[in-house]
Amino acid sequence: MTIQYLKSSRQHAETAQSDVRETVETLLAEIQSGGEAKIRELASRFDKWDGDIVVSKERIEAAKSQIPDQVRKDIIFAHDNIRRFAEAQKATISGCSLEIVPGFWAGQRHIPIDSAGCYVPGGRFSHVASAIMTVTTAKVAGVKHVTAVSPPRPGVGIPPAILFTLDLCGADTVLNLGGVQGVAAMAHGLFGAEKADILVGPGNQFVAEAKRILFGEIGIDMFAGPTDSMVIADAAADPFLVAWDLVGQAEHGYNSPVWLVTDSRELAESVMASVPGMIASLPELNRQSAEAAWRDYAEVILCDTREEMVQVANRYAPEHLQVQAANEDWWLENLTSFGSLFLGEETTVAFGDKSAGTNHVLPTSGAARYTGGLSVHKFMKTVTWQRSTREGARPIAEATARISRLEGMEGHALTAEHRLKKFFPETEFDLTVPGA
C-alpha cells in the first residue's frame, strides 16, 4: 500500500501572518479609543464611503425594486431551503432532566444568545449566500437581535441584492461597513447596534484576524483560514466534472488549497492535463486566483485503496469534501473529518455554498478534526440546572463534603456540611476523609 503525490503544494496556507496581526491589533486599538469617529475615518479610507453608516428602511425598500424578478426568486428559494434545514437542525435539540438519586434532579436547557453580529463579504463578490447562511440561521435559533455589516461600494453602499437578502432573512440593523471597522462596530455595539455576543461569517484575512483577536471577549463561529476543498474520485468518476470542481473552488483565492485524492492514475493525469485550460477560460480576476491556487497549493494524491483515500481525507480534514466514487454509503460511514460532505457527481460544493440548505460557513485549515460548521447550535447556549428535595440532597451533600476535603477545599465541604446539619439536625454524619 502506497500513497504517492503526483502533484505537491509549493506552499502551505497560513491562517494569519504577523504583519496582518499587527495591522489588525493597531486598528482595533484605534477604534477602541476613537469610537464611531474612527470607524467613519476608516470607512472613508478603506471603502471610499462617506455616506450614512446605518442603512435606513427607506434605502432597503428602494433596493428591493432594483432587483430583477428572477434574482429575487432565486434568493427566496435559497433562503427557504436554508431556513428549513436550520429548523430541522433545531428540532433535534431538546432539553432533558434526570433524577440522579431519588429526590435530586439535574437537567439542561438550550438558550439562544441575545445578540449576533453577521459579517457579509462584499469585496470582489457580492456574497448574497453568506447573508442567508448567517442571518437566517441566527434567527431560526432564536437570536433576538442580529446586526449585519457588509462593505459598501463607493457611491452606492451595500449592493441592492445584499440589502434585499438581509431584510428577507430578518436582520435588525444593517451597517455600511466592511473590514476590521465592521467587525469592531458589531463587537462594541456602535451606531445604535446592540453589542454582539457572537461574531459569525466569512471574510478576508483581516476580518478573520479581527475575530481571532476579539475571541474571548466575544464568541466567534470559528477560527477561519483560507477556504479549502478536496475531491475523492475513483476510476469511474468523470474527470471533466472532477477538474471543474477543483477549478471552481480554486477561484476563491490565491491561497485556497484544492486536493484530488484518487486510486486511478489515468483519472489523475487527465484532470491535471485539463485544469490549466479550464482556469484560462475564467474571467481575469477569477483566473488569477485559480492559477495561483492551483500552482502553489494544489495537490494530487494517488492511493492504492479506498481505505488509503479515507486515511488521507481524515488527516487533511477538508472544509469541503466531495466524493465521486462507488458505494456512497460506505464513504458516508467511514469519512469522519470534514466541514460538509458532498456525495456523488449529482451534487457539488457550489450547491452547498449557495442554495441547497446546508451552511457554507465551515471549518478550514484542518479544524474539521474537532468542530463542525455554522449551525443553530452555534447561536445557542447549553446550560444545566439542578433541583432537590432535602432527602435527595443528603447523599449528594455527604459525597461532596468528603470529596472537597480530599481535595483540600474546606469551604466547599462546609457548604455541604451546613446543609446536612440544617436539614437533618438529629443525625450525626461522618464527613471526614478516611486515612486523612
What pLDDT, on a 0 to 100 scale, did the predictor assign at position 127? 87
Q: What is the pLDDT of residues 75-85, one digit of tens each?
A: 999 999 999 99
Domain assignment present for residue 382? The answer is no
CATH number at residue 110: 3.40.50.1980
232 lies in the same domain as 212? no
Q: What is the pLDDT of residues 280-329, one digit of tens each?
A: 999 999 999 999 999 999 999 999 999 999 999 999 999 999 999 999 99
Q: What is the pLDDT of residues 393-415, one digit of tens each?
A: 999 999 999 999 999 999 999 99
Give every CB contact of residue 69 below 8 A, 6+ residues apart in sequence: none
203 lies in the same domain as 106? yes
182 lies in the same domain as 321? no
166 lies in the same domain as 259? no
Domain assignment present for residue 22? The answer is no
Q: Choose, from 209, 251, 319, 417, the residue flagged as catalytic.
A: 319
Q: What is the pLDDT of residues 245-264, one digit of tens each?
A: 999 999 988 999 999 999 99
164 lies in the same domain as 238? no
What pLDDT, on a 0 to 100 scale, did the predictor assign at position 1? 57
- Residue ending a domain, among 205, 221, 237, is 221
Domain that holds residue 427: 389-436
83 lies in the same domain as 139? yes
What pLDDT, on a 0 to 100 scale, did the predictor assign at position 124? 64
Q: Residue 260 forms beta bridges with which residues?
A: 231, 300
276 lies in the same domain as 130? no
Give the separation between CA 39 and CA 106, rounded to whole angstroms.
Answer: 47
- Residue ending a domain, among 372, 407, 426, is 372
Domain assignment present for residue 19? The answer is no
What pLDDT, on a 0 to 100 scale, did the predictor assign at position 123? 66
Q: What is the pLDDT of residues 330-384, one digit of tens each?
A: 999 999 999 999 999 999 999 999 999 999 999 999 999 999 999 999 999 999 9
Q: Is 319 a catalytic residue?
A: yes
Please tell me the total count of domains within the chain.
3
Domain assignment present for residue 14? The answer is no
Mean pLDDT of the region 8-26:
79
93 lies in the same domain as 209? yes
Domain assignment present for residue 205? The answer is yes
167 lies in the same domain as 234? no
Mean residue pLDDT of the chain comes to 94
pTM (global) more than 0.85: yes
Domain assignment present for residue 157? The answer is yes
pLDDT at 125 over 80: no
Q: What is the pLDDT of residues 89-123, one digit of tens each?
A: 999 999 999 999 999 999 999 999 999 999 999 86
Mean pLDDT of the region 205-223:
94
CA-wise closest residue to 280 among 293, 292, 291: 291
Contact 226, 259 (CB under 8 A): no
Domain assignment present for residue 383? The answer is no
What pLDDT, on a 0 to 100 scale, did the predictor assign at position 9? 86
Domain assignment present for residue 198? The answer is yes
- Residue ending a domain, among 221, 256, 290, is 221
Q: Is 320 a catalytic residue?
A: yes
174 lies in the same domain as 296? no
What pLDDT, on a 0 to 100 scale, did the predictor assign at position 369? 95
241 lies in the same domain as 354? yes
What pLDDT, on a 0 to 100 scale, did the predictor assign at position 233? 98
Q: Choose, from 79, 145, 188, 320, the residue flagged as catalytic.
A: 320
233 lies in the same domain as 252? yes
